[in-house]
Amino acid sequence: MGAPVDASRRICNRSFGHLRSARYEPASIQQERIMNYRPRRDRGLMGLIGALTERTITAAAVALSAAAAMAQPYESYAARSAAEILPPNMIQGKYFKVGNQVLAYDFLHHYTVDSDFGTFEVTGDGALRKLVKEIAAIGALKETDTIEAVGASVKQSVASPFVLAKNLVTSPVDTVSGLPGGVSHILGNVTEGVTMEHDPSEDSRVKQALFVSSWKRDFATQNGVDVYSSNKVLQKELNRVGWAAAISGLSISVATMSGGTAVAVMKNMRLANQVGNALKEEPPARLRIINERKLKEMGISDALAKRYLDHLAFTPRHDTVIVECLTQLKSTRGRAVFLNHILAAEDEVGANFFQQMAETILGYHNTVSPLEEIAVVDGMVIAQAKNGTPFVPFPLDRGVWTARAQGILENIKANRGAAGYGGNIDLWITGTFSTLAHQQIAARGVTITENVDEKIGFLN
């Protein structure tokens, strides 16, 4: 997350580039585009919810023909100001300022953030909240003086390669990042048996590497940031201070984070505690073993569990949050269906989307009605609640009434019977709908709950 602008732009161009030319299209051209639609793999977030199968497109075409006859009004996504979307403390803080123009496409906001540590681009309100906390953490780490505590030993540690378990590591400061590669992966689970000839100097390096990984997890937990973040600036600072503490053997004090960011109150403390404790105490290899065990206990096949845990878009944190959400659903059927569905994620944006979907599903299960079954109907996740209500979780930032949105909605209503679900739909979204979208969706017998992240509290 929080990737510097050049890396983020590549991600966004790959995921959303096809939408740029359509952002301000009039309704008539939108209709023509949908009528001529052919599925493609790179359809952005829409690709994550099924890429609109041929059945969906057929239903969309029928809906659009009827809509055209009725002169149905449609909207298009347009740029909004940051002040329309965000509270003041999320627009500007000690080290950062969010660009005034916020683009919206594929239901998500796209932000440009200027900071003292570089320019970042992120997709999604949740990703912005995460980045703001990371910027505050970077600021606190930057203000930490490691030279006085360590002196030249820090420079020596960066320059001197060392051999550990037959792997040459030429830059220890860049290696132990908490990610599931490098030294931290090798050392992550001693019960898996790392063996080497006894050498006191290597013993010292092993202890230092383990210390850095543990120190980073402690810091991340205390300051509400993700130790597995893709933010390279944050990782560099975590490594710098962590290695300084490891090499010096001294306790290095990091200034308390500041920045005035709002922190969501967790409604599900069990989820927060389970995930928080695991991320703090366990290295990546141990997290994988724990998640494998939990998936097996809920009846997930070994093959599907491996495909999920090997998926490059999901970090150990994504894995742990999603698996714990599914675990807490207990006897809900269809958890394997959901897990297989989310393998469609292609990047961090997709992984965040599906993590928020899993948290939304658990939130409904805990606060409204237990869920009996999860299904995927033409690319959309839909669940049947014990109270008889079909439930659709959809993590969007902003929804407007478009021809595509109407086609998807009509198709869900028409085909939910295939999953055996009846009754009016409960739709939970993480953001908001426009006034027109809200009116049109409600008129079709759908009950909307907006800003559900405020209702249940997300693990951003």
% helix, strand, coil for the chain, step of 5: 55, 15, 30
Give the pLDDT confidence score for residue 10 in this predicted structure. Answer: 36
Neighbouring-strand partners of residue 429: 394
Q: What is the pLDDT of residues 15-62, one digit of tens each?
A: 333 333 233 333 333 333 333 333 333 445 655 554 444 444 444 444
For 318, phi then psi, to 5°, come to -55, -50
Instruction: Please give the Cα distance from 380 to 218 (Å, whole number).
Output: 38
- The yes-or-no verdict on residue 354 having pLDDT over 80 is yes
The predicted model gives 119-136 an average pLDDT of 96
Q: What pLDDT is attached to residue 96?
A: 97
Average pLDDT over residues 367-377: 94
Helices (H), 51-181: 54-69, 82-85, 88-91, 125-142, 147-150, 152-159, 172-175
Q: What does the mean pLDDT of the chain come to?
A: 76
C-alpha–C-alpha distance, residues 31 and 57, integer Å: 12
Residue 387 · residue 397 · CB < 8 Å:
no
Each residue's pLDDT tens digit, 259-292: 444 344 445 667 777 888 888 889 999 999 999 9
Q: What was the pLDDT predicted at 272?
A: 74
Residues 312, 380: Cα–Cα separation, whole Å: 23
Neighbours of 283 (CB within 10 A): 20
Most confident of 150-154, 211-215, 242-246: 211-215
Number of neighbours of residue 4 by Cβ within 10 angstroms: 15
Q: What pLDDT does 203 receive?
A: 56
β-strand partners of 169:
162
| pLDDT band, very low/low/confident/very high, at 145 (cuts 50, 70, 90) | low
CATH architecture of the region 269-456: 3-Layer(aba) Sandwich (3.40)
Model pTM score: 0.76
pLDDT band at 131 (very low <50, low <70, confident <90, very high): very high
Q: Is 103 helix (H, G, I), strand (E, B) or coil?
A: strand
Q: What is the pLDDT of residue 30?
A: 35
DSSP per residue, 34-85: HHT----S--HHHHHTTS--HHHHHHHHHHHHHHHHTT--------EEHHHH
Token pair for 144 = 């930490």
Pairing relationship of beta strands 162-164 and 167-169 according to DSSP bridges: antiparallel
Check the CA dihedral 21-399-109-13 and report its sign.
negative
> What average pLDDT does range 241-268 have in this prediction?
59
pLDDT band at 249 (very low <50, low <70, confident <90, very high): low
- Tokens matching residue 323: 């698996």
Give the model's pLDDT for residue 274. 81
Tokens standing for 4? 């510097």
Distances (CA, A) of 402 to 31, 34, 63, 105, 447: 9, 10, 11, 12, 19
Determine the pLDDT at residue 11: 34
Q: Residue type for 212, please?
A: V
pLDDT tens readout for residues 430-443? 999 999 999 999 99
Is residue 228 within 8 A of residue 317, CB to CB? The reply is yes
Q: 376: pLDDT confidence band, cut at 50, 70 and 90? A: very high
Q: Where are the domains of the chain?
A: 144-248, 269-456
